[in-house]
Structure 1
């Protein structure tokens, strides 16, 4: 019983130590508008996941459109540009729904 508690505490300590290794350099600063639904870290995590899913879906849709129109090979640069734009739109829409406005450092 006591060994299980120490193992659980050790696992939690390891997760906290590893969480400090995540690179947050390119994340936007989230400005709360009104009363946010979730804390900023949780909202960012949720919306990044949504953006990643949209990126994958946009790439698939581009490939399907290329096949339907008869292009033998899709343009990778155009596919990447379209997928990144779709992911960014999804992220901004999601983070706005969470009650934040993203501010990017440029």
Structure 2
């Protein structure tokens, strides 16, 4: 049985986010990805393993090479969740601003500053 990792833990790591950015532009083999980092190839392979286990990337074999491709549908799930959070906080902040404006207006009417 394939191990499933949490996608949010996977993207919390800056190296993994950079790997995602690299392969979002084009499919890359493991060596080409590793060449973009100061980390060891085994360390980059471990990051790629995590991204694969959470379903953000898939590895396709072409001859003897293994290429990483982004699975955009999984990123859309994250984007959707972030958008819901953004909408909630915008509404909350707007509500707070309206409340503070009402208080300020009441205070001015009552002669308080």
The bucket for the TM-score relative to the shorter chain is 0.3 to 0.5
TM-score, normalization by structure 2: 0.33
* TM-score, L = length of structure 1: 0.35
Q: Which protein is richer in strand relative to its size?
A: 2
Structure having greater relative contact order (Cα 8 Å, sep ≥ 6): 1
